[in-house]
């Protein structure tokens, strides 16, 4: 029997060894949070040198926790690309706050079953409270509600399921749905899973600000009506992933109201910025959405995973997701049972982390951190624009700015290839992670600056290195035979 285990058949550890293991884990996490700035952003898991780790047979007999934690450090935490690093500018970074991690530890440690009032009434109350805070801040009426899900993809899918249920009684058939071409791919995934006929998904070409053009939307709806289709839903973006663009939600809400359409808003990333008074105006009309998605694991600084689907009328969730079963009969239907409001029956207590973070930090601090990210993207734009070989391709918006290196004498295809090389080179160097995206057919570099600990110096140094890499790579591409500058950056 392993030394730490009190009784093998009961799997019980001694109190002393539990504490030792727990403190060691907390030490690992605190060390990570306090030293992240000194770590390389991009690390790799090398399958070849980790063969022995991969090929171990299932352990018949337990090992010491210390040894297992060492394996985790050596092969897992050390090989991560740190999405929580202040110089991780790619995709949507994940600058999760330490308090959120502790809340998750409590949720797991007590194995809180955030599904039924019977098992965890206070957890349901906290979930309702957090959703109430947000619906209130976003301008929804009292009857609004919501439910936590695993992520933006799951919340969007759930929102579309609600739209289908409430609008069409669960059947799509001739329904048509409208969105801009900047809409996140998870919407298409969600629609496909829900059996939506994808030929009826109208991805409208976005305008020069990457927004959904409201005139095009109106025309598309009219065209479909003439063809005998059933326009049913518009998906608007409150912060696109590509450029942070916010659709004209209020105008789109007017169209939806006039045409009798459902308005689903994907604010998974951007709607957190509506907490800021300075930026609220850009989100005008958010409270008119029928369904809205916001992801605390993006810009509300929570660890994965945490997302919320908000609905204008809480009852719609029950209409869509509630089912009965004889083994659930002990539960009172009048109680708040969150399993009745979403896909999952068993579900973890995801609401705790944002609640605990908000209680400890306060919403003012969280809002300031969001504003800091927005200012940093504006700063990055101003710094990048100083270089004559940089073209800003979308202005800083909601902490996202895009630009590209550009040379008159190069073809568009070569410029694309050059910019891809620049992003790859800085990322491989480990100093910063920068990704590319396509904007109106062009490859551009994309910076997302939501980490509260990112500084202007981080931006300056990253841009300086990008410029150095760009110029070296350009010479390489022009055939001067230089090695791509992966070293000594
Ligand atoms: C606007 C938007 N919607 C949806 C998603 C999908 O969210 P998740 O990755 O949490 O599933 C993302 C992810 O970045 C996003 O930016």
pLDDT tens-digit map of 212-236:
999 999 999 999 999 999 999 999 9
For the chain, the average pLDDT equals: 94
- Counting Cβ atoms within 10 Å, is residue 169 exposed (0-12), middle (13-18) or buried (19+)? exposed
Mean pLDDT of 296-324: 97
Distance CA 350, CA 459 (A): 33
| Whether 387 and 467 share a structural domain | yes
Query: What is the distance in A from the centroid of ligand 1 to the CA of 242?
Result: 11
The neighbour count for residue 474, using CB atoms within 10 Å, is 21
The neighbour count for residue 364, using CB atoms within 10 Å, is 9
The tens digit of pLDDT for each residue in 401-422 reads: 999 999 999 999 999 999 999 9
The tens digit of pLDDT for each residue in 59-103 reads: 888 889 999 999 999 889 999 999 999 999 999 999 999 999 999
- Could you say which of 331, 360, 389 is where a domain stops? 360
186 Cβ closer than 6 Å to some ligand 1 atom? yes
Domain that holds residue 387: 365-480
Query: What DSSP element (H or E) covers 304?
Result: none
Q: If you take atom 8 of ligand 1, which residue's CA is the nearest one?
A: 152
The tens digit of pLDDT for each residue in 235-275 reads: 999 999 999 999 999 999 999 999 999 999 999 999 999 99
Q: If you take atom 3 of ligand 1, which residue's CA is the nearest one?
A: 268
Name the band, by pLDDT with cuts 50, 70 and 90, for residue 488: very low
264 Cβ closer than 6 Å to some ligand 1 atom? no
Query: What is the distance in A from the centroid of ligand 1 to the CA of 198?
Result: 20
285 Cβ closer than 6 Å to some ligand 1 atom? no
295 Cβ closer than 6 Å to some ligand 1 atom? yes
Domain-located, residue 380: yes
247 Cβ closer than 6 Å to some ligand 1 atom? no
| Whether 24 and 114 share a structural domain | no
| Whether 220 and 118 share a structural domain | yes
Q: Which of 92, 274, 350 to mutate to test the pocket of ligand 1 (most atoms within 8 A of CB)?
A: 92
Q: If you take atom 7 of ligand 1, which residue's CA is the nearest one?
A: 152
pLDDT at 478: 82
- Could you say which of 332, 360, 388 is where a domain stops? 360
CATH at 138: 3.40.640.10
Distance CA 433, CA 466 (A): 11
Query: What is the distance in A from the centroid of ligand 1 to the CA of 190?
Result: 12
Number of domains in the chain: 3
Query: What is the distance in A from the centroid of ligand 1 to the CA of 268?
Result: 6
158 Cβ closer than 6 Å to some ligand 1 atom? no
Domain-located, residue 28: yes
Name the band, by pLDDT with cuts 50, 70 and 90, for residue 326: confident
Query: What is the distance in A from the centroid of ligand 1 to the CA of 436?
Result: 17
Retrieve residue 132's tokens.
Answer: 């109430």
pLDDT at 64: 92
pTM (predicted TM-score): 0.95
Domain-located, residue 31: yes
Mean pLDDT of 296-320: 98
The tens digit of pLDDT for each residue in 11-69 reads: 889 999 999 999 999 999 999 999 999 999 999 987 766 566 666 788 888 889 999 99
Reduce the secondary structure of 124-142 to three states and give it as a string: HHHHHHHHHHHHHHHCCCC
Name the band, by pLDDT with cuts 50, 70 and 90, for residue 307: very high
402 Cβ closer than 6 Å to some ligand 1 atom? no
Distance CA 220, CA 233 (A): 12
HSE-CB at 125 with a 13 A cutoff on CA atoms is 5
Domain-located, residue 174: yes
pLDDT at 484: 47
CATH at 443: 3.90.1150.170
Task: Please answer whether residues 186 and 153 qualify as being in contact, where contact means their C-beta atoms are separated by less than 8 angstroms.
Answer: yes
Q: If you take atom 5 of ligand 1, which residue's CA is the nearest one?
A: 152
Q: If you take atom 4 of ligand 1, which residue's CA is the nearest one?
A: 152
153 Cβ closer than 6 Å to some ligand 1 atom? yes
Domain-located, residue 80: no
| Whether 412 and 396 share a structural domain | yes
Task: Please answer whether residues 270 and 237 qualify as being in contact, where contact means their C-beta atoms are separated by less than 8 angstroms.
Answer: yes
Query: What is the distance in A from the centroid of ligand 1 to the CA of 363?
Result: 23
| Whether 334 and 283 share a structural domain | yes
Query: What is the distance in A from the centroid of ligand 1 to the CA of 88?
Result: 17
Give the three-state DSSP class for 5: strand
241 Cβ closer than 6 Å to some ligand 1 atom? yes
Per this entry, what is the length of the chain?
489
| Whether 22 and 121 share a structural domain | no
446 Cβ closer than 6 Å to some ligand 1 atom? no
366 Cβ closer than 6 Å to some ligand 1 atom? no
| Whether 327 and 440 share a structural domain | no
Q: Which of 295, 308, 435 to mutate to test the pocket of ligand 1 (most atoms within 8 A of CB)?
A: 295
Q: If you take atom 9 of ligand 1, which residue's CA is the nearest one?
A: 152
- Could you say which of 328, 360, 392 is where a domain stops? 360
pLDDT at 481: 47
Domain-located, residue 486: no
221 Cβ closer than 6 Å to some ligand 1 atom? no
| Whether 117 and 255 share a structural domain | yes
Q: Strand pairing partners for 175?
A: 230
Query: What is the distance in A from the centroid of ligand 1 to the CA of 208?
Result: 22
| Whether 431 and 325 share a structural domain | no
| Whether 252 and 328 share a structural domain | yes
275 Cβ closer than 6 Å to some ligand 1 atom? no
Q: What is the CA radius of gyration of the chain?
A: 25
Domain-located, residue 369: yes
Q: Which of 95, 149, 153, 157 to mutate to test the pocket of ligand 1 (most atoms within 8 A of CB)?
A: 153
């Amino acid at each position: 029997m392993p030394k730490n285990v009190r009784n093998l058949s009961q799997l019980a550890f001694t109190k002393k060894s539990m504490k030792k293991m727990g403190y060691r884990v907390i030490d690992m996490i605190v060390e990570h949070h306090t030293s992240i700035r000194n770590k390389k952003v991009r690390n790799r898991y090398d399958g070849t040198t980790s063969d022995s780790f991969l090929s171990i047979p299932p352990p018949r007999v337990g090992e010491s926790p210390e040894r297992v934690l060492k394996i985790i450090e050596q092969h897992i935490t050390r090989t991560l690309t740190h999405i929580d690093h202040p110089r991780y500018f790619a995709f949507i970074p994940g600058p999760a706050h330490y308090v959120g991690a502790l809340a998750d530890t409590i949720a797991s440690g007590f194995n809180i079953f955030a599904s039924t009032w019977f098992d965890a009434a206070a957890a349901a109350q906290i979930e309702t409270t957090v959703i109430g805070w947000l619906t209130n801040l976003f301008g929804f009426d009292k009857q609004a509600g919501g439910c936590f899900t695993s992520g933006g993809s799951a919340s969007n899918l759930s929102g579309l399921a609600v739209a289908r249920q409430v609008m069409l009684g669960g059947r799509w058939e001739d329904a048509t749905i409208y969105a801009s071409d900047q809409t996140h791919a998870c919407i298409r995934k969600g629609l496909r899973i829900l059996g939506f006929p994808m030929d009826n998904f109208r991805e409208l070409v976005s305008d020069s600000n990457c927004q959904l053009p409201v005139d095009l939307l109106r025309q598309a709806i009219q065209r479909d009506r003439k063809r005998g289709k059933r326009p049913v839903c518009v998906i608007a973006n409150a912060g696109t992933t590509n450029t942070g663009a916010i659709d004209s939600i209020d105008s789109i809400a007017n169209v939806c109201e006039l045409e009798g359409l459902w308005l689903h808003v994907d604010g998974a990333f951007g709607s957190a910025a509506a907490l800021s008074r300075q930026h609220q105006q850009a989100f005008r009309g958010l409270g008119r959405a029928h369904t809205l998605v916001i992801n605390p694991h993006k810009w509300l600084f929570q660890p994965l995973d945490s997302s919320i689907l908000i609905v204008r009328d809480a009852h719609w969730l029950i209409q869509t997701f509630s089912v009965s079963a004889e083994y659930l009969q002990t539960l009172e239907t009048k109680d708040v049972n969150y399993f009745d409001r979403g896909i999952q029956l068993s579900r973890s207590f995801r609401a705790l982390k944002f609640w605990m973070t908000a209680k400890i930090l306060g919403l003012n601090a969280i809002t300031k951190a969001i504003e800091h990210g927005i200012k940093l993207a504006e700063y990055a734009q101003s710094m990048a624009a100083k270089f004559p070989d940089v073209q800003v391709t979308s202005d800083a918006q909601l902490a996202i700015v895009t630009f590209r290196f550009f040379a008159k004498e190069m073809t568009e295809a070569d410029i694309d290839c050059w910019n891809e090389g620049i992003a790859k080179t800085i990322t491989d160097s480990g100093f910063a992670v920068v990704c590319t995206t396509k904007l109106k057919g062009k490859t551009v570099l994309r910076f997302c600056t939501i980490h509260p600990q990112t500084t202007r110096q981080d931006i300056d140094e990253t841009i300086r290195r990008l410029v150095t890499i760009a110029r070296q790579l350009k010479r390489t591409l022009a055939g001067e035979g230089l090695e791509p500058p992966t070293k000594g950056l």
